[in-house]
C-alpha cells in the first residue's frame, strides 16, 4: 500500500496524526520565511503566543500543501479540531496549544477558518482572473494573519486592520511572485490572468528559465502593486505601541526586501531562487521603526 493510499484509508480523525503534520515538522519552517515570525528578544510569553498562532497557520497550510491523500477531507478535520480548540477539546498538539492563547487574547475562530478556506480554494487548481480576484484570495489567505497578530497585541483598531490587510496582501503577492514555477507545476497560478494575457504570458512561460520578457514585465507590475500596499505599513507602524511596532515592522521589512530581491533579479524568479537579503530586511525594519520613506 502506498503512503497516499494508507493515509486516505485512515478513519476520520486519524489523518491529523500524519507524520507531515507532526508539530516538529510543521514548526520546522520557522526561520525560512520572508519575515521574522517572532523576534527572539520578545518576552518569552509573547513570543510563545505568536509561535502558537504561527503553528496553527502552518498546520493549515501543510494540510493543504504537503499532506498525502484526500486534502479536502483533511482540511475538514483540521477545521473541526480547530473549532474544538476554542472549547478546550482539540486533539492535535498545535491546536491544543492555541486554546490558552485564544482565551488570553479573546481570539475567535473566524480568521483561522478563513485560512482553511484559502487552502480549500488551493485544491481547485486556481487560475485567478484578475488583480481583484487575487485581492479576494488574499482576504482569505493573508489578511487573517495580520489580524491575529494585532489582536495578540490588543491593537486591532479599524485603521490598523485596514493597513495590516494591505501589508499582508503584499507579502502574499510577493510570495507568489517568488514561487511562480513551483505553483505552476502544482497546477496553480496566482498571477492575474488579465495581466498575463496583456503581457503575452503563456503556460510555458511560467516554468521557463530564464523567464520571458513578458513574464518579467508581468512580475514587475505585481512588485509595483505590492510596494504600494507595503507603503501602508508606514502609517501602521507609526500608530503601533510597544513590542507591536518592531514585530510588524519586521513583517513589512520582509516584504520590502523581497521586492528589492525580485527587482535585483530583473523580475526573473525562474533562473534561480529569489530570497531577500538580511541586510535589506534590517534596513527597512529600522526605517519603519523610526519613520521615513522607502
Q: Which pLDDT does position 19 carry in this prediction?
A: 85
- Tens digit of each residue's pLDDT (9 = 90 or more) over 29-72: 665 554 455 567 889 899 999 999 999 999 999 999 888 889 99
Contacts of 78 (CB under 8 A, 6+ apart): 16, 59, 60, 63, 92, 116
Q: Which pLDDT does position 291 carry in this prediction?
A: 78
Report the CATH superfamily, name and number, of domain 125-294. Answer: Farnesyl Diphosphate Synthase (1.10.600.10)
- Tens digit of each residue's pLDDT (9 = 90 or more) over 204-261: 999 999 999 999 999 999 999 999 999 999 999 999 999 999 999 999 999 999 999 9
CATH number corresponding to 20-124: 1.10.600.10
Higher pLDDT, 111 or 6: 111
Q: What percent of the chain is modeled with pLDDT above 90?
A: 80
Q: What are the sequence ranges of the domains in the chain?
A: 20-124, 125-294
The beta strand positions in 14-173, using DSSP E, are none
- Tens digit of each residue's pLDDT (9 = 90 or more) over 255-279: 999 999 999 999 999 999 999 999 9
Q: Which pLDDT does position 6 carry in this prediction?
A: 39
Identical topology for domains 20-124 and 125-294: yes
| CA 60/CA 232 separation, integer angstroms | 27
CA torsion 175-168-65-84 (nearest 10°) is: 170
Amino acid at each position: 500500500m502506498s503512503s497516499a493510499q494508507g493515509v486516505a484509508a485512515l478513519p476520520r480523525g486519524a489523518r491529523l496524526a500524519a507524520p507531515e503534520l507532526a508539530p516538529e515538522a510543521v514548526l520546522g519552517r520557522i526561520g525560512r520565511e520572508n519575515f521574522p515570525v517572532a523576534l527572539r528578544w520578545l518576552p518569552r510569553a509573547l513570543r510563545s503566543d505568536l509561535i502558537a498562532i504561527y503553528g496553527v497557520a502552518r498546520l493549515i497550510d501543510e494540510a493543504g500543501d504537503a499532506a498525502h491523500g484526500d486534502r479536502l477531507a483533511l482540511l475538514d478535520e483540521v477545521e473541526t479540531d480547530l473549532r474544538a480548540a476554542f472549547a478546550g477539546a482539540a486533539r492535535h498538539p498545535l491546536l491544543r496549544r492555541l486554546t490558552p492563547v485564544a482565551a488570553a487574547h479573546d481570539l475567535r475562530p473566524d480568521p483561522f477558518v478563513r485560512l482553511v478556506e484559502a487552502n480549500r480554494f488551493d485544491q481547485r487548481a486556481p487560475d485567478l482572473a484578475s488583480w481583484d480576484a487575487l485581492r479576494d484570495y488574499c482576504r482569505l489567505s493573508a489578511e487573517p494573519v495580520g489580524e491575529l497578530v494585532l489582536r495578540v497585541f490588543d491593537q486591532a483598531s479599524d485603521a490598523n486592520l485596514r493597513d495590516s490587510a494591505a501589508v499582508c496582501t503584499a507579502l502574499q503577492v510577493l510570495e507568489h511572485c517568488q514561487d511562480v514555477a513551483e505553483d505552476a507545476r502544482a497546477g496553480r497560478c496566482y498571477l492575474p490572468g488579465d495581466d498575463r494575457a496583456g503581457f503575452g504570458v503563456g503556460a510555458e512561460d511560467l516554468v521557463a528559465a530564464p523567464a520571458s520578457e513578458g513574464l518579467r514585465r508581468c512580475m514587475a507590475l505585481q512588485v509595483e502593486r505590492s510596494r504600494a500596499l507595503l507603503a501602508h505599513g508606514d502609517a501602521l507602524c507609526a500608530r503601533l505601541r510597544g513590542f507591536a511596532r518592531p514585530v510588524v515592522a519586521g513583517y513589512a521589512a520582509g516584504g520590502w526586501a523581497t521586492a528589492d530581491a525580485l527587482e535585483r533579479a530583473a523580475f526573473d524568479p525562474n533562473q534561480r531562487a529569489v530570497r531577500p537579503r538580511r541586510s535589506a530586511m534590517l534596513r527597512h525594519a529600522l526605517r519603519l521603526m523610526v519613520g521615513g520613506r522607502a
